[in-house]
């Protein structure tokens, strides 16, 4: 049987109970179509480490764009938090910063994410793990 829902309608229904997350979720759906939302796109690792790192960098770039040019301040704030979480995933899973930003600024952004109780617990946990990893060892900067 053919699915009667168009992609547009499917996206509209996917907003669910958290419409403020729609921008980051829609961006993630475009960049990583096999993940249901932004949290899954960040937290669910690809078994191939090269592909996983590629996806994280792609998501990071997308969230960075939304962080700078989002239509609403809520979208920009959420994009900034997801941007930080994506960088945290790079630290936790690959042992490196996937950005050229200064580590002190990154750690501050990760601490802000951990402190933000409006964010998904999985994102906050990956930020905690990244802070711990960064404090335990020197991490490589992205090239």
Mean pLDDT computed over every residue of the chain: 85
Q: Give the pLDDT score at 141.
A: 57
**Strand, helix or coil for residue 72:** coil
Closest CA to 133 of 83, 75, 92: 92
- Residues 74-85 have pLDDT tens digits of 888 999 999 999
H/E segment holding residue 90: helix 73-94
Q: In Å, how far are 7, 31, 66 from 42, measured between CA atoms? A: 22, 11, 16
- Residues 20-54 have pLDDT tens digits of 667 888 888 889 998 889 999 999 999 999 999 99
- Residues 123-136 have pLDDT tens digits of 999 999 999 998 88
Between 6 and 114, the higher pLDDT residue:
114
Closest CA to 87 of 49, 134, 50, 120: 134
Q: Give the pLDDT score at 143.
A: 47
Do the beta carbons of residue 90 and residue 103 sit within 8 Å? no
Phi and psi of 140, rounded to 5°? Answer: -75, 145
């Amino acid at each position: 049987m053919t699915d009667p829902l168009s992609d547009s309608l499917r996206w509209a229904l996917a907003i669910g109970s958290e419409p403020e997350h729609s921008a980051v979720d829609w961006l993630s759906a475009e960049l990583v179509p096999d993940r249901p939302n932004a949290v899954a796109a960040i937290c669910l690792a690809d078994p191939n480490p090269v592909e996983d790192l590629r996806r994280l960098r792609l998501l990071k770039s997308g969230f960075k764009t939304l962080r700078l040019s989002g239509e609403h301040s809520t979208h920009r704030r959420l994009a900034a938090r997801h941007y930080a979480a994506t960088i945290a995933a790079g630290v936790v899973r690959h042992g490196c910063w996937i950005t050229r930003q200064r580590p002190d600024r990154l750690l501050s952004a990760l601490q802000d994410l951990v402190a933000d109780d409006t964010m998904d617990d999985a994102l906050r946990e990956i930020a905690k793990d990244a802070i711990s990893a960064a404090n335990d060892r020197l991490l490589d900067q992205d090239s």
